Amino acid sequence: METGAALLLLVALLGKSSAVSFYGDSISFSPLQMNTDGRYKVTFFHRENGRNDCQNQASLLCEGGVCMDLDESDTLQTDQDSSGQGRWCQTEKRTTATFQANGTSFTLSWDEVDKAMIRKSQSSPGNSMYGIVLDAGSSHTSMYIYKWPAGKQNGTGIVTQHSECKVQGGGISSYAGKHGGAAKSLEECMKHALKEIPTSRQHQTPLCLGATAGMRLLNIVNQTESERVLQEVEKKLRSYPFLFKGASILSGQAEGAYGWVTVNYLLENFVKYGFVGHWLNPGRSTIGALDLGGASTQITFQTSKKLENQDNLMKLTLYGQTYTLYTQSFLCYGQDQIIRKLLAHLIKTQGVKSQVFNPCAPQKFTISTKLGEDVFDSPCTEKYRPDNLDPQMTITVVGTGNYQQCVNNIKEIFNFTYCSYSMCSFDGVFQPRVTGSFMAFSAYYFTQKYIKEITNITLTSPSRAVEAAKLICNMTMAKIMEKTKAEEKYIKNVCTMSNFVQVLLTNGYHFDEASFPSISFQEKAGGASVGWALGYMLNVSNDVPAEGLSMMKALPSGSWAGIIFLFIVFVFFALVYGVVINRNRTTRSDII
Ligand SMILES: *[C@@H]1O[C@H](CO)[C@@H](O)[C@H](O)[C@H]1NC(C)=O
Ligand SMILES: *[C@@H]1O[C@H](CO)[C@@H](O)[C@H](O)[C@H]1NC(C)=O
Ligand SMILES: *[C@@H]1O[C@H](CO)[C@@H](O)[C@H](O)[C@H]1NC(C)=O
Ligand SMILES: *[C@@H]1O[C@H](CO)[C@@H](O)[C@H](O)[C@H]1NC(C)=O
Ligand SMILES: *[C@@H]1O[C@H](CO)[C@@H](O)[C@H](O)[C@H]1NC(C)=O
Ligand SMILES: *[C@@H]1O[C@H](CO)[C@@H](O)[C@H](O)[C@H]1NC(C)=O
Ligand SMILES: *[C@@H]1O[C@H](CO)[C@@H](O)[C@H](O)[C@H]1NC(C)=O
């Protein structure tokens, strides 16, 4: 091939001979284009004809992470047989892939597993199974609906996030003492779930609620009341046609482990759909999970080190592989509780006065605080509580915006001196050295986002984190609001949180200049929210009957190759470059 011809696209359609109810298809694609930003674009047009139901046009998956964007048109469906029996139909779809030119090849594979199942199960309304998880956090509750094909891979369903619903109002623990409040708060989102999940699937859809540190705290304060709230919520959830699996308070350990499962699942570290048309174990190393909630914070990572405290050990089996994890949850080190603890600590050191100075609040920023409700109404601030506290007393907290004093006060909340093991993170908790990459989510993500907005500093090292905190703590509220365009309530604690995150990661978990850059701050991955809920669903889906399994097996094994198409597009970039330069000389016939 001469250089003028330039572009070689190889399309391999393997085993195109088809399954029973399938007439065939055709595929064409446009010549590769180079955008001005150096990315490449190619459009595939796919048409297929079938004898049966072919409503679910398969979609393209991009391998190797080179795709920036896969833009799919709506499926155009032509039902030639107007009797509605679906004896003949044709679907067409256009997919434009935009990708980055950092490799020598990219692969797009056509995933038709779903469709195979649709063909084989005409009577079923959908080929998906669903599951609902209510994440009852300390500050609010989120509902996630997941779905997975009605088949399984080594015991665990391949789960994706279908939709999400935020429950209005506070977390369920905030309804302590308010009968009926917690149950009622969930109604709106449950209505959404009834709409989203096909009626005939509802009775098979597992539904569970997991409560985290907010309820763990309420359980410490008043166990009777926390049980009452859970029972009330459970009664409500049972009244829906779903398969109720339980409402319970997750242990900190489980919360950490499920967060880790979520992160690694979304990054396809356990399984991925390979271009040869079956699930592969990619054999990649897993990444650690850093979660910062409202009332607690978790760290979880895979380790081969000996765990000196067995409470930190978690063994998980997923997709036929066993993983040994270190996991630790710190109650009272979530965002809201840290802010309370800092105030309590300042009041304790300065004395109970009508005015207390807060070096972590912007200069001259004042806020009036009720000692009972806002500071000492939590087991987390118990040890700072002054004798004969008047819970009704209101004090004024005055910001002084002083980085050094702020960071000193925050460090005093931790205990870095006591350790009965060979090594500790803080508060006497054993922790081996952190290894590998980490993903930091929930409040970590938002703190990092605000830091970036305010200072234009990306959190990539301890020194950058310190630099950012110094800048932020020396800013006025007006300046911070101007930079973030966020409401006061979201950003008034940004100096506190910048310092807390920095101290927790470096002094606490011992991330250093070498390991800190391996932390990536993320809210979502692979279209799903990062949190513990997906990991929980994966485990729950483990004992959901795999009705699809027999269906998949019912297909003769030979036809699998026919159902799974495969496009391998080798793009020789050096030559592509030639195309762009010599575009006039290039014709479509150059595409093989
Ligand atoms: C290309 O870049 C993407 C995104 O930066 C990355 O995920 C992928 O691994 C890279 N691929 C190659 C072959 O370097
Ligand atoms: C705990 O809650 C119950 C109501 O469930 C209430 O009757 C009781 O007084 C509470 N106990 C404390 C110590 O607040
Ligand atoms: C599923 O289990 C089989 C045997 O138990 C194993 O060979 C295969 O690699 C597993 N698949 C994945 C994706 O882990
Ligand atoms: C740290 O904890 C240990 C054990 O609980 C205690 O003896 C020590 O005083 C604490 N140190 C600080 C600085 O709080
Ligand atoms: C932010 O930093 C980047 C480089 O790190 C620079 O290119 C950009 O201009 C900066 N933006 C602002 C608003 O300062
Ligand atoms: C804080 O900002 C002021 C200007 O707003 C500046 O004069 C001062 O040097 C800054 N202080 C520190 C410690 O950066
Ligand atoms: C997953 O669920 C099973 C029961 O279905 C349970 O025994 C196991 O402990 C769960 N795994 C975790 C990590 O909680």
Question: Where is 23: in which H helix or E strand?
Answer: strand 22-29
From 232, 255, 412, 513, active-site residue: 255
Give the model's pLDDT for residue 12. Answer: 25
Give the model's pLDDT for residue 66. Answer: 63
pTM for the structure as a whole: 0.71
Q: How far apart are CA 150 and CA 169, in angstroms?
A: 35
Domains within the chain, CATH numbers bracketed: 22-112+565-590 (2.60.40)
Candidate of 415, 424, 427, 429 to mutate for ligand 4, largest count of ligand atoms within 8 Å of Cβ: 415
Ligand 1 centroid to 94 CA: how many Å? Answer: 24
Residue 451: phi and psi, rounded to 5, are -60, -45
Contact between 418 and 429 (Cβ < 8 Å): no
Report the nearest-CA residue for atom 11 of ligand 4: 415
Give the model's pLDDT for residue 100. Answer: 65
Contact between 519 and 533 (Cβ < 8 Å): no
Assess whether the C-beta atom of 102 lies below 6 angstroms from ligand 1.
yes
Question: Where is 69: in which H helix or E strand?
Answer: strand 67-72
Ligand 7 centroid to 262 CA: how many Å? Answer: 15
Assess whether the C-beta atom of 100 lies below 6 angstroms from ligand 1.
yes
Pocket around ligand 4 at a 6 A CB cut-off: 415, 417-418
Tokens describing residue 395? 């004090």
Report the nearest-CA residue for atom 3 of ligand 4: 418
**DSSP assigned state of 371:** I
Give the model's pLDDT for residue 279. Answer: 53
Tokens describing residue 537? 């669903």
Contact between 100 and 68 (Cβ < 8 Å): yes
Give the model's pLDDT for residue 490. Answer: 87
Q: Which ligand number lies closest to the CA of residue 104?
A: 1
Ligand 5 centroid to 478 CA: how many Å? Answer: 21
Cα–Cα distances in Å, from 500 out to 148, 383, 406, 443, 469? 38, 20, 9, 11, 10
Candidate of 178, 219, 220, 222 to mutate for ligand 2, largest count of ligand atoms within 8 Å of Cβ: 222
Output the CA angle 403-375-340, nearest 5 degrees: 40
Give the model's pLDDT for residue 13. Answer: 26
**What residues does 34 pair with on adjacent strands?**
40
Taking only the tens place, the pLDDT of each residue in 511-567 is 999 999 999 999 877 667 889 998 888 777 665 443 332 222 222 222 222 222 222
Q: How many CA atoms lie within 13 A of 147 on its CB side?
A: 16
Q: Which of 421, 405, 426 is nearest to 332 (CA)?
A: 426
Candidate of 37, 69, 102, 284 to mutate for ligand 1, largest count of ligand atoms within 8 Å of Cβ: 102
The per-residue pLDDT string of the chain (592 residues; one tens digit each, 9 = 90 and over) reads 222 212 222 222 222 222 223 445 556 666 667 777 767 777 766 666 655 555 445 556 665 556 667 777 666 666 555 544 445 566 677 777 777 655 444 555 544 433 332 222 222 335 678 899 999 999 999 999 988 766 554 445 567 788 999 999 999 999 999 999 999 999 999 999 999 999 988 998 999 999 999 999 999 999 999 999 999 999 999 999 999 999 999 999 999 999 998 988 877 777 654 443 445 566 678 999 999 999 999 999 999 999 999 999 998 877 667 889 999 999 999 999 999 999 999 999 999 999 999 999 999 999 999 999 999 999 999 999 999 899 999 999 999 999 999 999 999 999 999 999 999 999 999 999 999 999 999 999 999 999 999 999 999 999 999 999 999 999 999 999 999 999 888 899 999 999 999 999 999 999 999 999 999 999 877 667 889 998 888 777 665 443 332 222 222 222 222 222 222 232 333 233 333 334 433 333 332 2
Tokens describing residue 328? 């630790």
Write the secondary structure of 269-338 as one string of H (helix), E (strand) and C (coil).
Answer: CCCEECCCCCEECCCCCCCEEEEECCCEEEEEEECCCCCCCHHHEEEEEECCEEEEEEEEEEECCCHHHH
DSSP conformation letters of 378-444? SGGGGGGPPTT--TT-EEEEEE---HHHHHHHHHHHS--S--SSS-BSSTT-B-PPP-S-EEEEEHH
Q: How far apart are CA 418 and CA 415, in angstroms?
A: 7
255 is catalytic: yes
Q: How far apart are CA 445 and CA 520, in angstroms?
A: 9
